[in-house]
Amino acid sequence: MIMINEKRQWQLLKEIGFSRVGGSKEEKRAAQILKKTIEATDNVAFLEEFEVDWQDVKVASLKSEAKEYEVTAYNQCANTSKEGLTAPFYYLTADNGVGLKNCEGKIVLINDYLRMKIYEKLVDAKAVGFITYDGELRDSRENTDLDNREIRELLREKKNLPGVHMKIQDAMELVLENPNEITISTVQDTYKVNSQNVVTEIKGEKCPDEVIVFTAHYDSVQFSSGVYDNGAGSVILMELFHYFLANRPDRTVRFVWCGSEERGLLGSKAHVEKHKDTLNKIVLNINVDVAGPVLGSDSAVVTGPISLVHYIDYLAKEKGFEILVKQDIYSSDNMPFASKGIPAVSFGRYGEKGQAYIHNRYDQLFFMDSKNLYRTAEFIRKFAVRMINSYAFPVPREMPENMVAKIEDYLKGKPQD
């Protein structure tokens, strides 16, 4: 009997283990590797292209009275003049009113990610520019990534401010210096490039018009080899594809390796939009995002009926697989499907803090192994087989009200707790 091939799965993970930013050449290279792997089985694979923002950054700088700091400009942020924007500096530590009152006309350093909530407050408080930072103070400057962050469209629509990003060591220095005025310069040309999903399908033998869509994003972020997030999910999907090729499914299975997930679920959004006339055929979305850490725990998050939570929980108990199952939303490629009322479940094996790393140079194979990746894949396979070959499809195609509300908040950019 053909099952998940542990060695082949691990091998493919190594092959796609390089930084694959959505819209980049490297992402295209990874898409080709996945496409060729599918085509080697004589199945047809499509590249489903969609446009994403891109830019050539010409100038990115931050100067104080004392020195120049190393920064990157926020991708897609507002351009300053060539001379830059000079304004008073302010370090915002609490957005509860006092600090916000001090932001008007200033370039503001914030502690958090550039989230919707804080960004809206900065705009309302009439800040003229923003600064973010990232890293761990215990690391040296050299061992700290300075990545190119993006100001997303949802935020730009509110108002596009110029912004820069710096290393945590420099943020500390800047706060200690506490300059009266600083000058930031951000100049870039913006345009569109293509990103792409890789898509293949195996027709169902008995109910071809009922479709189960598997998704996993194969893009990663700058500096990250993205083997954990989410090369792991990508290669699990490939093994499931091999499995259903050899064991023909009763229902149609579609595999979508999504591009540009890290840039705001752009690939899955594009897929759902492109297939909007046939979404009624999709009965379930099974998403996989992160897997493989040795020290970690498996989890399934169901954005759908509570009966599906129980189903997975019972199956895990039957099969002796340790996994936490809950009903909630999960920020990954399942969301665009769920937002259209399609029940979705997202599987993953997570390392706790200090055991696994995402979105930086430490997302590497050293904390993962093929056995753990295999075990997670094998459970997803067992679950998928049950679903796909059921006599009557067991999951009602409905979205409970508590989930509908959460999905709406999520898509509007509201923070989740």
In the complex, the smallest distance separating the C-beta of residue 216 from Zn ion, rounded to whole angstroms, is 9
Residue with smaller CB distance to Zn ion, 218 or 243: 218
365: helix, strand or coil: helix
Residue with smaller CB distance to Zn ion, 283 or 358: 358
Place of tokens 């370039």: 107
Residue with smaller CB distance to Zn ion, 289 or 298: 289
Specify the DSSP class assigned to residue 230. Answer: I
Phi, psi (rounded to 5 degrees) for 188: -150, 155
- CA-based Rg of the chain, rounded to a whole angstrom? 23
Rounded CA separation 76/394 (Å)? 45
Residue with smaller CB distance to Zn ion, 26 or 95: 26
In the complex, the smallest distance separating the C-beta of residue 171 from Zn ion, rounded to whole angstroms, is 26
In the complex, the smallest distance separating the C-beta of residue 117 from Zn ion, rounded to whole angstroms, is 22
In the complex, the smallest distance separating the C-beta of residue 186 from Zn ion, rounded to whole angstroms, is 28
In the complex, the smallest distance separating the C-beta of residue 348 from Zn ion, rounded to whole angstroms, is 8
Segment holding 198, helix H or strand E:
strand 181-202
User: Would you state the structure tokens that stand for residue 299, as one six-digit string?
Assistant: 């989890």
Residue with smaller CB distance to Zn ion, 304 or 348: 348
Neighbouring residues of 242: CB distance < 8 A, sequence distance ≥ 6:
2, 5, 8, 41
Residue with smaller CB distance to Zn ion, 283 or 344: 344
Residue with smaller CB distance to Zn ion, 188 or 287: 287
Whether 127 contacts 107, CB under 8 Å: yes
In the complex, the smallest distance separating the C-beta of residue 8 from Zn ion, rounded to whole angstroms, is 22
In the complex, the smallest distance separating the C-beta of residue 230 from Zn ion, rounded to whole angstroms, is 4
CB atoms closer than 10 angstroms to residue 314: 11
Whether 50 contacts 27, CB under 8 Å: no
Rounded CA separation 62/58 (Å)? 14
Is-cis flag, bond preceding 230, omega within 30?
A: yes
Closest by Cα among 373, 370, 369, 367 to 352? 367
> Which residues would be at the binding site for Zn ion (CB under 5 A)?
229-230, 289
